[in-house]
Chain A
């Protein structure tokens, strides 16, 4: 088990390093940050001074080594926009994003898993069709549009919730609801199909022939087996929440990583963008690592290898 986790850990670090390198090279090749930050009529001396100040006049391999060495010391550079330390700029946004994504993640499991189980057990019933219709609809509505619909209904029309900002707990309700409903649809859909697959297995038929009550078959025999593929799906959902934050947070002006990232790309704030991509990748790699380890814990077949 330790060897397994160690191997996964090394692999995760390799993916992280690969991504950091790729992002660095692509972003450095993508144009002139000086041109982007300064106005169009900045003179050549101003551009040269800017490049010299941020070390952008050196060769790319040199800049890369310099960057990696600094990152390993926790130094992600300084924001082009306001000269503040990137580490501070980025890390003060992390709690905001975690609050929304973690509550949405829990909520989507609480809604999606029971809905999927009911749909699978009562297959082809009106309840199943209702749940599946809601799930397909949730799949087809762009998440930012769902956010706008919520703003329209609850802020503009009913005037019961604030539309943007983050000063009170009430401000978190709409972003969390948007995230959660969107992902609950995906969770319900996967839960249903996974459970239907498991219920078709021979050992379920054997349990049924043995006269074990239906409820017990579902709870004791089917669900634990359905949990294994569900872990992978939940990993995808968690990853999707991170990507989704770039779309949903700006809708609600929620000052988390997502809207910070969109702002930084709009202003061409290279150090911030770079640090955020590294952070997003680190989160994703961590999620995948957790999924792999959970998978091994839950599934004895893998654990033995």
Chain B
């Protein structure tokens, strides 16, 4: 009997044919790999303690000496070390934030689709209200009045665009319910939870993964924006946005302080967006 209940090949929509990926996508993957490696190993690989100050070597220009490859800042701190730790912080926040966001959104979308009725209305109404205020305005006021703590911050950025996951999941589940495999599984008495997780989720994973690649760079941008305004990550911790904010005051005499963290932000969000576009074409997943 189990044979008849199993759906299409479980990971059918995710199967990757052996087509060569274009060079630009390979480059994106390479950059993402580098950034992730830096993020994981930053604490061990950083040449200096990122808070270590060297007042005699303030504003050292990049590439001028081998000791400070990307120069030093206004307190003589090593830019390379700071950049590595900042990358780690930003990636961690974006990763946890994205997962929180995907989890909240997907769950609420699933509940909406499953129960319908007033639960559906309430969830979708909440989603509409979320879209009614620019999120950065909400997050600024929450951070200002609750006081910025790393935990609050991560959950806040994770809350940013859950409604898109919710709408997407809701739409996908409602249309997947109509398909033969879900109907068949329901008729033979597979419990709903198992239908959703075991049979439906693999089939609707494509668009959700693409949404993740759209969401992840947005969270990086939100994190860096809030930190740039001084309401995100607080010193002595550091993040890419905070480094850009720090460098802002020295734009005229030390361009490298803002330029390097800025470049890391741009290259990372660009790589993930391009990879997402590529995946969307390959998985043929249209976002609703």
A residues lining the B interface (CB < 8 Å): 15, 18-19, 22-23, 26-27, 30-31, 33, 36, 136-137, 139-145, 148-149, 151-152, 156, 239-240, 242-244, 246-247, 250-251, 261-262, 265-266, 268, 270, 273, 276-277, 280-281, 284-285, 288
B134 at the interface (CB under 8 A from A): yes
Contact A136 B277 (CB under 8 A): yes
**Min CB–CB distance A18 → chain B (angstroms):** 6
Question: Can you report 22 A-B residue pairs in the complex whose CB atoms are below 8 A from each other?
Answer: A19-B133, A27-B141, A30-B145, A31-B147, A139-B217, A139-B273, A140-B270, A142-B225, A142-B241, A144-B225, A145-B265, A148-B258, A239-B134, A247-B228, A262-B140, A262-B229, A265-B231, A266-B231, A268-B144, A273-B144, A284-B133, A284-B134
B128 at the interface (CB under 8 A from A): yes
Interchain Cβ contacts within 8 Å, total number: 122
Among all A-B residue pairs, the 6 with the closest Cβ atoms: A243-B134, A265-B144, A30-B145, A140-B270, A140-B269, A243-B136
With A139-B269, A144-B225, A284-B133 known, 7 other A-B pairs at CB within 8 A are A30-B146, A31-B147, A144-B244, A145-B265, A148-B251, A247-B136, A288-B132
Point out the residues of chain A lying under 8 angstroms from B140, CB to CB: 246, 261-262, 265
Which B123-142 residues have a C-beta within 8 angstroms of A? 128-129, 132-138, 140-142
Contact B134 A23 (CB under 8 A): no
Contact A152 B255 (CB under 8 A): yes
Report the separation of the CA atoms of residues A26 and B129 in the bound assembly, to the nearest whole angstrom: 15
Point out the residues of chain A lying under 8 angstroms from B141, CB to CB: 23, 26-27, 265, 273, 277
Which B193-251 residues have a C-beta within 8 angstroms of A? 217, 221, 224-225, 228-231, 241, 244, 248, 251
Contact B244 A140 (CB under 8 A): no
Which B99-148 residues have a C-beta within 8 angstroms of A? 128-129, 132-138, 140-147
Contact B255 A266 (CB under 8 A): no
B21 at the interface (CB under 8 A from A): no
Point out the residues of chain B lying under 8 angstroms from A262, CB to CB: 140, 229
Point out the residues of chain B lying under 8 angstroms from A251, CB to CB: 248
**Min CB–CB distance A262 → chain B (angstroms):** 6
Point out the residues of chain A lying under 8 angstroms from B134, CB to CB: 239-240, 242-243, 246, 280, 284
Report the separation of the CA atoms of residues A186 and B267 in the bound assembly, to the nearest whole angstrom: 18
Known: A136-B273, A261-B137, A277-B137. A268 touches B145 (CB 8 A): yes
Point out the residues of chain A lying under 8 angstroms from B269, CB to CB: 139-142
Point out the residues of chain A lying under 8 angstroms from B266, CB to CB: 137, 140-142, 145
Point out the residues of chain B lying under 8 angstroms from A33, CB to CB: 145
Report the separation of the CA atoms of residues A265 and B142 in the bound assembly, to the nearest whole angstrom: 9
**Min CB–CB distance A67 → chain B (angstroms):** 16
Report the separation of the CA atoms of residues A285 and B129 in the bound assembly, to the nearest whole angstrom: 10
Most A Cβ at <10 Å: residue of B133, B217, B252: B133
**Min CB–CB distance A174 → chain B (angstroms):** 13
Contact A136 B136 (CB under 8 A): no
Contact A246 B137 (CB under 8 A): yes
**Min CB–CB distance B25 → chain A (angstroms):** 13
Query: In the complex, what residue of chain B is closest to A33 when comparing beta carbons?
Result: B145
Report the separation of the CA atoms of residues A270 and B273 in the bound assembly, to the nearest whole angstrom: 38
B29 at the interface (CB under 8 A from A): no
**Min CB–CB distance A51 → chain B (angstroms):** 16
**Min CB–CB distance A116 → chain B (angstroms):** 16
**Min CB–CB distance B273 → chain A (angstroms):** 6
B262 at the interface (CB under 8 A from A): yes
**Min CB–CB distance B231 → chain A (angstroms):** 7
